[in-house]
A and B are shown apart, each in its own frame.
Chain A
Amino acid sequence: ILNVEQSPQSLHVQEGDSTNFTCSFPSSNFYALHWYRWETAKSPEALFVMTLNGDEKKKGRISATLNTKEGYSYLYIKGSQPEDSATYLCASPGKAGTALIFGKGTTLSVSS
């Protein structure tokens, strides 16, 4: 079973703080790395899909990087806002063309 790990488990920051969290995955047989945001009472929504070593993706104040050789991805949020409060999930397929296996998520709480 593919093991996808995320840290920290939870994080509490003040509005305006920048923050980042980590997703680690096996570096062998890598195919893709997905990031999703899951807000309370909503469905998880895709943020990024990354496939190439060194990939960097950006959506507004949120960005992500990928290092497939060492098996990690970072998600960065610049200038956190209360609406960024959510659980952030990363996931990777066990092998090409198979279902995504998710990490346990990082729950971010942003206070105003």
Chain B
Amino acid sequence: DVKVTQSSRYLVKRTGEKVFLECVQDMDHENMFWYRQDPGLGLRLIYFSYDVKMKEKGDIPEGYSVSREKKERFSLILESASTNQTSMYLCASSSWAGANVLTFGAGSRLTVL
């Protein structure tokens, strides 16, 4: 019954490494999102996408990029990881027909050393 799958639950990377976080949904949703969650700051929107090859910046896009080559897959890329990117990353998807209710993945906890 898995609907939104994030490729890694836990990752440990070094400063300066390129990091890929993958997210796949099997619900044929049009919209996909990347959020990060930090204590005391809540869920903050990084990037989102309404369609294949389309992307829009959220509130905190600096240091991140995204890729959506297929409808079901939305990747978050950290070009050069930094320690302040240590966080929990949550992917979500939604459908216009479903009142845009988000279905979340299990999260990827990234530690940058």
Residues of A within 8 A of B (CB): 1, 32, 34, 36, 42-46, 49, 51, 89, 91, 93, 97-105
**In the bound complex, do residue B102 and residue A46 qualify as a contact, i.e. CB atoms below 8 Å apart?**
yes
**In the bound complex, do residue A89 and residue B42 qualify as a contact, i.e. CB atoms below 8 Å apart?**
yes
- B5-46 interface bits toward A, Cβ cutoff 8 Å, 1 = contact, 0 = none: 000000000000000000000000001010100001111110
Q: Answer whether residue B89 sits at the interface, using C-beta atoms and an 8 A cutoff.
A: no
User: Are A36 and B99 also in contact (CB < 8 A) when A89-B43, A99-B33, A104-B40 are?
Assistant: no
Q: A91-B43, A100-B33, A100-B102 are in contact. List 13 more A-B contacts (CB 8 A).
A: A1-B59, A32-B99, A34-B101, A43-B90, A43-B107, A44-B43, A51-B99, A89-B43, A93-B100, A99-B56, A100-B45, A100-B100, A104-B42
**In the bound complex, do residue A99 and residue B45 qualify as a contact, i.e. CB atoms below 8 Å apart?**
yes
Q: Answer whether residue B74 sits at the interface, using C-beta atoms and an 8 A cutoff.
A: no
Partner of A49, one of B33, B48, B99: B99
- B66-105 interface bits toward A, Cβ cutoff 8 Å, 1 = contact, 0 = none: 0000000000000000000000001000001001111111
What is the number of residues of chain B that contact chain A, defined by CB distance less than 8 Å? 25
Partner of A46, one of B41, B101, B106, B107: B101
Give B93 Cβ to nearest chain A Cβ, in Å: 11
B103: chain A residues within 8 A (beta carbon): 46
Minimum CB distance partner of B31 in chain A: A99
Q: Answer whether residue B58 sits at the interface, using C-beta atoms and an 8 A cutoff.
A: yes
A104: chain B residues within 8 A (beta carbon): 40-42
